[in-house]
Amino acid sequence: MKTLLFSLLLLTAPLAAGESVYQQLGEKEGISAIVEEMLYRVGGDERIVHHFDGVDIVHVHEQITLQVCDVVGGPCEYKGETMQVSHEGMGVTHADFNALVEHLIAAMEKHEVPVAAQNQLLAALAPMYEDIVQE
Amino acid sequence: MKTKLSVAACACAMAVALTSSVHAKTPGSKLLATGGASTIEGAGGGGIVPWATLSSYADTGEWGATVNLSEVSVDDFRLSVKGISASWNNRIEVSYARQTFDLSTIGGELEQNIVGAKVRVVGDLVYGDLPQISVGAQHKINQSFALPSAVGALDDSDTDWYVSAAKAWLDGPFHRTWVANVTARNTRANQLGLLGFGGDDEADSRWVAEASVAMFINRYWAVGAEYRQKPDNLTFAEEQDWRDIFVAYFPSKRVSLVGAYTDLGSIAGLDNQSGWYLSVQAAF
């Protein structure tokens, strides 16, 4: 059994070794550019842009960048509001949440983030669904 | 060959229609590929198994629709399916499919209409801990009952009931996104119902298990396998379980393509029926 586990480790090692997700996202600079691209796309999306009415977008950009950097194990600490507090009463739907995810994916595709790193980031962010969506 | 050409022509026409309507309303807010493909019985799902997912990209408060064409060609038979579906609010799906089963070797043709409905009961494919769980029904009306009746089938129409559970793992093995679906179906359909319902060997319906698993290589391409248990109600020929391995391509929310290698076992006494499966779906 131990040998089996060891060979499994060896098999998966090449995937895990090399660059971290944080590095594959392009570190702080890359993450900042991805989040900028995402927000730019949100700005043109009539389904969800109203959720950002009267919002300080520079601040939002800063906070999301910090948060992404934090969840993928980068050298950042997100100290902002919890997702539950910051989305309270906004009435974010399943469709709205998906729209944002779609823009994040499009931004990562544009920045040529490898699929494995994309999936790890998405999996790290997905649990926020339950704090953000009120349906 | 004629059918093959007409499917190709139709697929091209669809592609053209789609390209020209690209600037129209987007198909819906669900994530790419989460509407699944279209099954040979009209419901949203894999190729041969209905999934708990609803067809089209209709999310909260949205409407969606699909049009689909499928062809299955095995050694001695050919199945052509034309289907449409509509769904609302990521909650309910209704579908219609017309199946034509060409008995290439034996000669003749069998036809069947299937009206389906599926409701998402609880859970979500992507988010939260619960899998997405849906219940559905497929009412099947055989249009060519003379042959099925002659080989021992009891009825020319019946309803399949099923419950399905599906879950996606965004970051599954190999850091790829995986989707799995299991379906339990209550049925007495002989070869989908193309050979009628119930038989001289077994008259009543029974529960059968169906399952699918797929891995997304990237955002647009997936590979997977499906398995479908079948009842065996007729004495004249043994009915066997079906299986396939498939490649699915989702270039956009507008269109999807599925190609598969399929093994349908023994059909109407002709053994080892294997071949290809091709399906194209357009979503609106």
* A87 annotated ligand binder: yes
Quote the minimal CA–CA distance from B228 to chain A in Å: 30
Which element (helix H / strand E) includes B169? Answer: strand B157-169
What distance in Å separates the CA atoms of residue A134 and residue A129, rounded to the nearest whole number? 9
pLDDT at residue B229 in the model: 98
Cα B185 to chain centroid, rounded = 13
CB contacts of A95 in chain B (<8 Å) are 28-30, 59-62
Find out whether B192 and B229 touch, Cβ atoms under 8 Å. no
The secondary structure of B137-167 as a DSSP string is EEEEEES--HHHHHTT--BSEEEEEEEEEEE
pLDDT band at B147 (very low <50, low <70, confident <90, very high): very high
Contact across the interface for A95 and B29, Cβ inside 8 Å: yes
pLDDT at residue B130 in the model: 95
Whether the CB of B219 is below 8 Å from some CB of chain A: the reply is yes
pLDDT tens figures, B6-57: 545 554 444 444 444 444 467 899 999 999 899 999 999 999 999 999 999 9
Contact across the interface for A116 and B176, Cβ inside 8 Å: yes
pLDDT band at B2 (very low <50, low <70, confident <90, very high): very low
Residues of chain A with pLDDT under 50: 13-14
**Is pLDDT of B1 > 50?**
no
Tell which of B23, B26, B59, B88 to mutate to test the A interface (max A CBs under 10 Å): B59
pLDDT tens figures, B75-101: 999 999 999 999 999 999 999 999 999
Quote the minimal CA–CA distance from A91 to chain B in Å: 12
Quote the minimal CA–CA distance from B262 to chain A in Å: 29
pLDDT at residue B25 in the model: 62
pLDDT at residue B107 in the model: 85
pLDDT tens figures, B222-262: 999 999 999 999 999 999 999 999 999 999 999 999 999 99
What distance in Å separates the CA atoms of residue B241 and residue B92, rounded to the nearest whole number? 29
pLDDT at residue B19 in the model: 44
pTM of the model: 0.88
pLDDT at residue B215 in the model: 98
Q: Which domains does chain B have, with CATH numbers?
A: 2-283 (2.40.160.40)
Q: For CA atoms A115, A118, A122, A124, give the dihedral sign.
A: positive
**Is pLDDT of B139 > 60?**
yes
Choose among B59, B170, B172: nearest Cβ to A94: B59
Find out whether B151 and B195 touch, Cβ atoms under 8 Å. yes
Find out whether B139 and B116 touch, Cβ atoms under 8 Å. yes
The secondary structure of A38-82 as a DSSP string is HHHHHHT-TTTGGGGTT--HHHHHHHHHHHHHHHTT-S----S--
Q: Which domains does chain A have, with CATH numbers?
A: 25-132 (1.10.490.10)
